[in-house]
A and B are shown apart, each in its own frame.
Chain A
């Protein structure tokens, strides 16, 4: 589960949890002509830190360039090219498919046994299936669903983490401004 397509690199970035940081990162990728496949952002166990996972169509050397450019952004604290080392990556998809006959429902059930997927909603006309897996497995699954009839789909984009003792972390604690000390956020 560690291999990634050679031209698909995954970067993980710890950033300050401030408004506009996503905009800065997106702006950087656009102006440097780096092609984003997916970008996800979410909070971490440290409330002032967010973590981004970015997948790009790029060589390893390009990924290093992107890393150096991300470091130029003041709000970016740490960046790692996760895909060059052993890692775990996951993509989640919700797919709404036709379920209006026995045949389609049977096919769905069968596919959900073969893939790490499950039916999370089912009605007389449509069902929603969820799959959480490595990106290429998700792609396979979606291809397999196509004959049944996909009507709607959403994906989270890839999240990834290095395996073992490699930890992407920061011990940064923001200074308390008087307003924060009083209990409300200023940014």
Chain B
């Protein structure tokens, strides 16, 4: 079968099981767009900005566990992908980006729309390729998908010159084993390491599991639950680890870190053993490393060997697949209870309950926390939520408990504003049976709101909650706490979001009181196709608790207890 390079690209995508790709055409990728006529099974979603394409592919990947695909042309098309690629890299999301490149003969001549995208993306991809001959197209795409989805997943970019897309060859799909001599993701743990870890686990009096996204990626949620139940070990979650363990499980404590639950952070600081599973001790999780978990021995299991001993020195470091390693642990974990330890944690939790804003009378004010909590109620806690970055994101983490893996999709590592809406579109296309909500602030929403048009054109049934406080809320919070309330460049004008949605043909409502929240959510759920609700909330609200950047984890700024009358 004689195929062009462009046809081979699409042929290989089909063989990788790709159903949908997100992209934007242009000069150097045009042959591939032309070949799409021959491959109607591959759905192409036309985005409004390439950043959106990459976020959609990322959202699709996180919601499904499969590889997401983004397409762009050379030059500005490729550079527009960069934020999306870096987002996927920081959160280990399997995305393959295919970019057109100027013809080989003019590479290096500053040709129209030429940019060295492989050079640009070296630091933000797991791997990348410049394909210089049609013979290499199929091998490269196979390798790229393999690299993207295995080991610690991540984005892979393939840059393909236009003339290579137009070359022709007799096409034979390269079957057989992929041979990458320098690539061997670790799998099981050494017996000695398992023994050493089990000794620590069985001897611990105040053990705590720190569960991260690795649990979700590895499909190890059931095993994590078994481990926690067997050893009666409480579980703290990272932001991206939400969903790794059902949050209504009695052993689940909640989120750790900068805006984590106070009880969790106290527990970390008091624990005598941390069992870190598929997480990477990010600075937003540890606070001051010098005072972090001072009494704890540490077991760290991660698929990426370079994460072991990177930020936190550990007692037992295991580079391995977290699912396999927990399986190795389980038979050796002694069934036991830690009543004193669990009671101590319960006391901390009760103290937090007294400070809880939801338990206080807030008068006529509508708080973002209440919106998120009511959204959780109204959706039965069962929606896939895709957030932006900032206060609403942290409030989502605090007030929307997740029961299942792959239901919270958020930019944790890079902290990319504008992620929520495109990620939600990608997630919904990947999991059409799920109820999907994009939750964004007024700031982040305005960064990628052009994708509203994509949602309409593709009739994607996403509900959008814009939490509008008229500020870049989290930055304003930092200004209030650390810059004497000098609100430089954080008050933000926004268009009338309801009218804006109307201009796109999207049904929309504005909510200003708590009484309207649940009903508006129900209304949005009842409508096929995209909807938007603008929640006008308290302008100068805070997210508590908060560990200031670099401060000790136990030195949280907490919401004051209400004054007792």
Contacts and interface: CB of A to CB of B under 8 A. Distances in A.
Interface stretch (A80-88, A127-135, A169-177): A169-177
Given A177-B135, A186-B132, A16 B182 contact: yes
12 contacts: A16-B181, A61-B309, A71-B305, A72-B304, A72-B306, A73-B182, A74-B127, A74-B180, A172-B179, A172-B181, A175-B179, A177-B136
Interface residues of A, number: 29
Interface string B143-172: 000010000000000000000000000000
A27 B147 contact: no
Contacts of B331: none
Contacts of A76: 182
Contacts of B139: 177
A23 interface: yes
A69 B182 contact: no
A61 B118 CA distance: 31
Interface of B: 118-119, 122-123, 126-127, 130, 132-133, 135-136, 139, 147, 179-183, 304-306, 308-310
A65 interface: yes
B304 A65 contact: no
A183 interface: no
Given A178-B135, A186-B135, A68 B306 contact: yes
A124 interface: no
B118 A20 contact: yes
Contacts, number: 57
A61 B119 CA distance: 30
Contacts of B308: 68
A15 B119 CA distance: 18
B147 A74 contact: yes
Nearest to A76: B182
Interface string A129-146: 000000000000000000
Interface in A26-45: 27, 31
A75 to B, nearest CB: 6
A77 B181 CA distance: 6
A69 B135 contact: no
A133 B445 CA distance: 62
A24 interface: yes
B122 A71 contact: no
A71 B182 contact: yes
Contacts of B133: 179, 186
Interface in A70-111: 71-78
Contact of A187 (B122, B126, B132, B309): B132
A177 B127 CA distance: 20
Contacts of A175: 179
A136 B126 CA distance: 38
Given A179-B135, A179-B136, 18 more contacts: A24-B122, A27-B122, A65-B309, A68-B306, A72-B304, A73-B127, A73-B182, A74-B147, A75-B182, A78-B182, A172-B179, A177-B135, A178-B135, A179-B133, A186-B135, A186-B136, A187-B132, A187-B136
Contacts of A27: 122-123
A20 to B, nearest CB: 7
A84 B136 CA distance: 40
Contacts of B119: 23
Interface centre among B118, B180, B182 (most CB of A within 10 A): B182
Nearest to B181: A172
Contact of A74 (B118, B123, B183): B183
Contacts of A65: 306, 309-310
Interface centre among B132, B135, B181 (most CB of A within 10 A): B181
Contacts of A179: 133, 135-136
Contacts of B182: 15-16, 71, 73-78
B306 A71 contact: yes
A177 to B, nearest CB: 5
Nearest to B147: A74
Nearest to B156: A74
B146 to A, nearest CB: 10
A127 to B, nearest CB: 40
A31 B123 contact: yes
Nearest to B176: A175
In order of increasing CB-CB distance, the 7 nearest A-B pairs are A172-B181, A68-B306, A77-B182, A179-B135, A74-B127, A186-B133, A77-B181
Nearest to B118: A20
A177 B306 CA distance: 32
Contacts of A72: 126, 304, 306
Nearest to A19: B130
B28 to A, nearest CB: 20
Contacts of A23: 119, 122
A24 B304 CA distance: 18
Contacts of B130: 20
A18 to B, nearest CB: 10
A170 B136 contact: no
Nearest to B178: A175
Contacts of A177: 135-136, 139
A13 B127 CA distance: 18
A174 to B, nearest CB: 8
Contact of A68 (B180, B183, B305): B305
Nearest to A180: B135
Nearest to B138: A177
A47 to B, nearest CB: 14
Nearest to A172: B181
A76 to B, nearest CB: 5
B423 to A, nearest CB: 25
Contacts of A61: 309
A68 B127 CA distance: 16
Contacts of B123: 27, 31
Contacts of A187: 132, 136
A174 B180 CA distance: 9
B80 to A, nearest CB: 21
A73 to B, nearest CB: 7
A71 B181 CA distance: 11
B186 to A, nearest CB: 10
